[in-house]
């Protein structure tokens, strides 16, 4: 959520920044509603002030056993008018709220300008594409022939875009989650949390998934709850409506959760394999920090996510998303794209963003300065560290052998009970 006070005085600047996203967003209706609201407020507040003083006078007169009927009569009218105006203010404020919640964040000045992903910039490339003396297969072929992925039965259980991992497949996914969590907690200083996997709608408004992206979410019928599409939602909202102390910042959490997404609007995309699922596992990184630190923290958080890929020996690149491609709530985003030899393509495996105070303003997450200074909004950040399902895909495709077996990356072996290779059962 943008700051209405800033918009009031700098609406052209805001419109210009928002236009970089490629959507023509006019702030005029917002400004009009704001002006209307303030006009009404000053009227109704003046009436309330009058009512307060007169009511005290009534109290005084009654105590002295004097007649106050005339004042009471008069105030009946005033109160009625106040009620009317309060109603109008409530309507305006609801509209204002509804409107401002659908306006995306403004991109940071360092974000490349462009309309779509073709304008994204590759910030760096790490490692090299592995070479094979055979034609590398796609992860689904590998997984099914090893008997560790069963898409047919997954379909029976839950339909398209769900998967069933078996045997070493299930083990590998579980190992990856633990591996990631251990590195982030033990080496990167994050505190592990295990949040609810379904949370109330307020949380979704707080991080920006609602009201605009309702169609992407799984709602629990008869409840105010939705299944989490990412741990970002519950974890960022841990501190919703709180005032933190400057000394405790930055606060860094890591969390494993399954993620549930309808994937509306992606029909026909990534229909085969495990790339795009309604449910997948992810380890997330979330930070709350001081505004002046947030861009440093974004670099650190991205590096923390990259470290997982490095330890697993996976080749990847870091992409700076352009103004037309960053998410609704984000001011700046780096995507990590891992190389998948079976598909001969880079695929997103992590997305690391600085939301500045956009989410903090929605979720009312503030902090108080050391010197007892005024409370300010924190900056929030998050990134995948990493998406476990896609990491599994990357391992299958990058560590496949000519005989159809898959070697387990060395860093992961403490987590697979020493298992070094997944081989076809006879």
Q: Which residues bind RNA (CB under 7 A)?
A: 4-5, 34, 38, 41-42, 45-46, 48-49, 51-56, 58-59, 62, 71-72, 75-76, 79, 83, 90, 366, 374-375
Q: Which is nearer to RNA, 58 or 101 (CB)?
A: 58
Q: How far is the CB of 68 from RNA (least distance, A)?
A: 7
Structure tokens at 246: 């400057």
- Give the CA angle between residues 184, 186, 187 to the nearest 5°: 70
Instruction: Give the span between the Cα atoms of 385 and 318, in whole angstroms.
Output: 14
CB 178 within 8 A of CB 411: no
Instruction: Give the span between the Cα atoms of 206 and 229, in whole angstroms.
Output: 14
209: left (phi over 0), alpha (psi -120 to 50) or beta: alpha
In the numeric block, the tokens 């209307």 are attached to: 36
Instruction: Give the span between the Cα atoms of 357 and 376, in whole angstroms.
Output: 9
Q: How far is the CB of 12 from RNA (least distance, A)?
A: 19
CB 281 within 8 A of CB 255: no
DSSP letter string, 135-150: -PPPHHHHHHHHTSB-
CB 63 within 8 A of CB 129: no
Hey, which residues are catalytic here?
A: 261, 276, 348, 351, 390
Q: Which is nearer to RNA, 53 or 271 (CB)?
A: 53
- Give the CA angle between residues 186, 191, 193 to the nearest 5°: 125
**Residue 340 CB-half CA count within 13 A:** 23
Structure tokens at 359: 């989410």
Instruction: Give the span between the Cα atoms of 179 and 254, in whole angstroms.
Output: 12
DSSP letter string, 209-243: -TTTTGGGS-BPTTSSEEE-SSTHHHHHGGGTTEE
The residues pairing with 400 across neighbouring beta strands, listed in sequence order, are 406
**Total residue count of the chain as it appears in this document:** 426
Return phi, psi of residue 143, to 5°.
-65, -45
45 to each of 37, 83, 122, 154, how far by Cα in Å?
Answer: 12, 11, 55, 61
The angle, 0 to 180 degrees and rounded to 10, between the axes of the packed helices 294-311 and 168-182 is: 140
Cβ-proximal residues to 48 (8 Å cutoff; 6+ apart), any chain: 82
């Amino acid at each position: 959520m943008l700051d209405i006070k800033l918009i009031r005085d700098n609406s052209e600047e805001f419109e210009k920044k928002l236009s970089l996203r490629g959507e023509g967003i006019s702030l005029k209706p917002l400004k009009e509603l704001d002006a209307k609201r303030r006009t009404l407020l000053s009227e109704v507040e003046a009436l309330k002030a009058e009512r307060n003083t007169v009511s005290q006078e009534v109290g005084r007169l009654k105590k002295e056993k004097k007649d106050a009927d005339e004042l009471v009569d008069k105030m009946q009218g005033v109160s009625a008018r106040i009620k009317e105006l309060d109603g109008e203010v409530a309507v305006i404020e609801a509209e204002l709220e509804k409107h401002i919640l659908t306006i995306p964040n403004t991109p940071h000045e360092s974000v490349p300008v462009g309309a779509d992903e073709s304008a994204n910039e590759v910030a760096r490339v790490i490692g090299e594409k592995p070479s094979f003396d055979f034609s590398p297969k796609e992860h689904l072929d590998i997984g099914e022939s090893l008997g560790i992925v069963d898409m047919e039965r997954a379909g029976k259980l839950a339909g398209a875009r769900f998967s069933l991992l078996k045997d070493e497949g299930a083990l590998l996914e579980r190992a990856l989650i633990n591996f990631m969590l251990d590195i982030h907690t033990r080496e990167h200083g994050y505190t592990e949390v295990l949040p609810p996997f379904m949370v109330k709608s307020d949380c979704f408004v707080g991080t920006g998934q609602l009201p605009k992206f309702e169609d992407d979410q799984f709602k629990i019928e008869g409840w105010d709850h939705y299944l989490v599409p990412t741990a970002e939602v519950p974890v960022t909202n841990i501190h919703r409506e709180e005032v933190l102390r400057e000394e405790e910042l930055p606060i860094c959490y890591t969390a494993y959760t399954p993620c549930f997404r309808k994937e509306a609007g992606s029909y026909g995309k990534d229909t085969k394999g495990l790339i795009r699922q309604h449910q997948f596992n992810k380890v997330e990184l979330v930070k709350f920090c001081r505004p002046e630190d947030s861009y440093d923290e974004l670099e650190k958080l991205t590096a923390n996510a990259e470290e997982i890929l490095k330890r697993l020996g996976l080749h990847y690149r870091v992409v700076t998303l352009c103004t037309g491609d960053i998410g609704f709530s984000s001011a700046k985003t780096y995507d990590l794209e891992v190389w998948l030899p079976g598909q001969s393509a880079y695929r997103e495996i992590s997305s690391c963003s600085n939301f500045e105070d956009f989410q903090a303003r929605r979720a009312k997450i503030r902090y108080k300065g050391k010197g007892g200074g005024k409370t300010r909004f924190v900056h929030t950040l998050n990134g995948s560290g990493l998406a476990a399902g896609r990491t599994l895909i990357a391992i299958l495709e990058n560590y496949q052998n000519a005989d159809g077996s898959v070697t387990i990356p060395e860093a992961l072996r403490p987590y697979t009970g020493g298992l070094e290779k997944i081989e076809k059962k006879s």
